[in-house]
Amino acid sequence: MDRMLPKMVMTAAASSLLICNAAFSQIPPPAKKAAHVEIIQGPTLEFARGDLAIVRWTTNNPGGSDDHLGVVYYGTNPKDLSQMAKSHVRLNQAHQETMFRVRMDGLSPGTTYYYTVTSMESNGKGDGEKSPVNHFTTPASGQPIVAYPQPIAQQR
């Protein structure tokens, strides 16, 4: 009997770990797709230097697959936005909004870029929203790094 007790305790402990891990590793089903995805804030230039920029915007939660992409189409001509940058984001089904941030690399200093933003599920299915064309200018060589929006001074 003394030998069986430790064996039973070990078996029970191992079994409970397997059961608990299985319960916690369940992936929830995709959230219901939003009837209408809308950009509710932005897009805005968050950061820029001569060779890169980061654009961000917020939408209502698009739902569908938790794996989404923020996409920026851009170029130096507002009628030719043939360059694309994208960034992965994982939706939080408990949140009503989703913030997208996309980094564009390989930019030229002192150049005006035009862009539009959208989002899509990781399978390429678009969420149905697209911003108007916006623009920003990268700082010229030697100019300080620019961060947008500028910090608001604290009032005393």
- Name the one residue in this structure whose structure tokens are 């913030």: 99
- The DSSP symbol for 137 reads E
**Gap between the Cα atoms of 55 and 45, Å rounded:** 5
AA letter at 154: Q
Residue 30 in any domain: the answer is no
**Count of the separate structural domains present in the chain:** 1
Element spanning 112, H or E: strand 112-121
Q: Residue 13 has what pLDDT?
A: 58
Q: Which two tokens stand for residue 82?
A: 């043939």
- Name the one residue in this structure whose structure tokens are 């992409």: 69
CA dihedral in degrees (85, 58, 60, 25; nearest 10)?
70
Domain boundaries, position 61: 39-147
Residue 108 in any domain: the answer is yes
Domain with residue 59: its CATH number is 2.60.40.380
Q: What is the mean pLDDT of residues 47-60?
A: 92
Per the model's pLDDT, the better-predicted residue between 156 and 56 turns out to be 56
Cα angle vertex 81, ends 75, 84, to 5°?
85
SS3 11: helix
Residue 47 in any domain: the answer is yes
For residue 79, give every residue at least 6 positions away whose Cβ sits within 8 Å of its Cβ, in sequence order, or none: none
Residue 94 in any domain: the answer is yes
Residue 27 in any domain: the answer is no
Predicted TM-score of the model (pTM): 0.74
Q: What is the pLDDT of residues 29-49, one digit of tens each?
A: 666 676 778 898 989 999 998
